[in-house]
């Protein structure tokens, strides 16, 4: 007679069936993959990865310290207009004059966290057979991807999903779940608010024209940051105003090969600041992207936050004989004003 299974045994069978069904995936690192290793990662990986991120020079490190968000959507109080001073005089005998009153303006901005996930699988054979430690390799790869993600989101976020209009995909509808579809970033803000300079042949006057678009916020170089695509940076190195000693002293680019500031505004380069077509958007055909981009930001107005910094988890999947590394973060960005960002577009490179 067939033995009746206990409830516990039935639950085990159901769980195994569900695991077998749900753990199907397409891409696992295995012994056929080159450039990987063997010894697996312990649960302290997240700490190591975050330290690697903090040690790196990133765009995020140049901006105000990210807010730790207590809720997924977090309203942050902020200042706006200042009290107004009016002309007045001494109050003597009555009746007295009641001077016009004004308040110090207050307001709020909202940070909405967006989630990002990366998952990597490694085979059990890779863990057993390789003689090269995989831990430093995987930690470095996750740290690099995480750094690039944060920088890319700040610069390139754009929510447009149509076949044209997104600054990152001019001639093709973005693929669902693409990282940049979560909200609008720096490049999109400059375009949306008409804070762009159609630079053409790059000149020092272009950089000052972008500052002028920001009006009062463009006055103090210490409060600003230039983010240049690599090609624009190389173009900048060759400007006659900065290239030679008689014009730029010992900081001349021909002497040092680098340029750290323009008009005393710090300059950084970023591989995620793209070249574009003439309509300031990126073509899906790389050869069409022949014009450079540079973004100027008023740093105090670029507010970021984390509902969750990077969290990693390592699991062994016995039914597949694979390890799964999951990495998740919840990140938010808001740009305070319409004059917080300006951009050079269509730079000849």
The pLDDT of 16-44, averaged and rounded, is 41
pTM exceeding the 0.85 threshold for the entire prediction: no
Residue 141 lies in a domain: yes
Residue 137 lies in a domain: yes
Report how far residue 24's alpha carbon sits from residue 70's, in angstroms, rounded to the nearest whole number: 35
For every residue of 151-215, DSSP letters joined together read: HHHHHH-----SSS-BTTBSSSPPPTT-GGGSS--HHHHHHHTT-EEEEES--HHHHHHHHHHTG
Q: Please report the pLDDT score of residue 290 as a whole number.
A: 95
The token pair at 195 is 């804070």
Average pLDDT of the chain to the nearest whole number: 79
The pLDDT of 84-94, averaged and rounded, is 67
List the single range of 180-184, 212-216, 268-272 with lowest mean pLDDT.
268-272
Q: Are 275 and 281 in contact (CB under 8 A)?
A: no
Angle 45-55/135-156 helices, nearest 10 degrees?
50
Residue 80 lies in a domain: no
pLDDT in tens, 159-206: 999 988 899 998 889 988 899 999 999 999 999 999 999 999 998 899
Q: Please report the pLDDT score of residue 158 as a whole number.
A: 95
List the single range of 27-41, 101-115, 175-189 with lowest mean pLDDT.
27-41
Q: Please report the pLDDT score of residue 278 as a whole number.
A: 92
Residue 35 lies in a domain: no
- Between 317 and 14, name the one with better pLDDT: 317
Number of domains in the chain: 1
Residue 327 lies in a domain: yes
Neighbours of 299 (CB within 10 A): 15
Residue 273 lies in a domain: yes
Residue 252 lies in a domain: yes
Residue 52 lies in a domain: yes
Its domain, for residue 336, covers 45-65+110-348
Q: Does residue 299 have a pLDDT over 90?
A: yes
- The pLDDT-based confidence of 7 (bands split at 50, 70, 90) is low
């Amino acid at each position: 007679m067939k033995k009746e299974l206990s409830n516990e045994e039935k639950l085990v069978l159901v769980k195994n069936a569900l695991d077998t069904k749900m753990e199907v995936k397409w891409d696992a690192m295995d012994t056929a993959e080159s450039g990987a290793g063997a010894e697996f990662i312990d649960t302290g990986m997240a700490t190591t990865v975050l330290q690697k991120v903090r040690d790196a020079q990133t765009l995020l490190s140049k901006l105000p310290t990210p807010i730790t968000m207590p809720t997924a959507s977090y309203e942050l109080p902020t200042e706006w207009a200042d009290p107004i001073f009016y002309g007045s005089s001494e109050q003597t005998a009555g009746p007295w004059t009641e001077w016009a009153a004004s308040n110090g303006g207050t307001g709020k901005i909202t940070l909405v966290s967006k989630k990002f996930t990366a998952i990597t699988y490694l085979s059990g054979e890779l863990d057993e057979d390789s003689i090269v430690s995989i831990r430093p390799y995987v930690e470095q790869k996750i740290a690099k991807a995480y750094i690039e993600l944060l920088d890319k989101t700040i610069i390139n976020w754009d929510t447009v999903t149509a076949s044209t209009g997104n600054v990152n995909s001019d001639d093709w509808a973005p693929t669902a779940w693409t990282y940049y579809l979560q909200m609008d970033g720096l490049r999109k803000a400059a375009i949306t608010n008409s804070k762009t300079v159609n630079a053409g042949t790059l000149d020092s006057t272009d950089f000052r024209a972008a500052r002028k678009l920001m009006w009062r916020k463009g006055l103090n170089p210490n409060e600003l940051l230039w983010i240049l695509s690599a090609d624009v940076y190389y173009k900048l190195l060759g400007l006659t105003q900065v290239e030679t000693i008689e014009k730029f002293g010992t900081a001349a680019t021909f002497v040092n090969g680098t340029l750290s500031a323009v008009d005393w505004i710090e300059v950084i380069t970023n591989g995620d600041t793209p070249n574009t077509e003439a309509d300031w958007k990126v073509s899906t055909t790389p050869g069409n992207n022949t014009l450079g981009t540079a973004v100027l930001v008023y740093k105090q107005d670029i507010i970021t936050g984390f509902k969750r910094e990077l969290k990693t988890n390592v699991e062994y999947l016995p039914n597949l004989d694979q390890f799964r590394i999951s990495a998740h973060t919840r990140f938010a960005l808001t740009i305070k004003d319409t004059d917080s960002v300006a951009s050079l577009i269509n730079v000849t490179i």
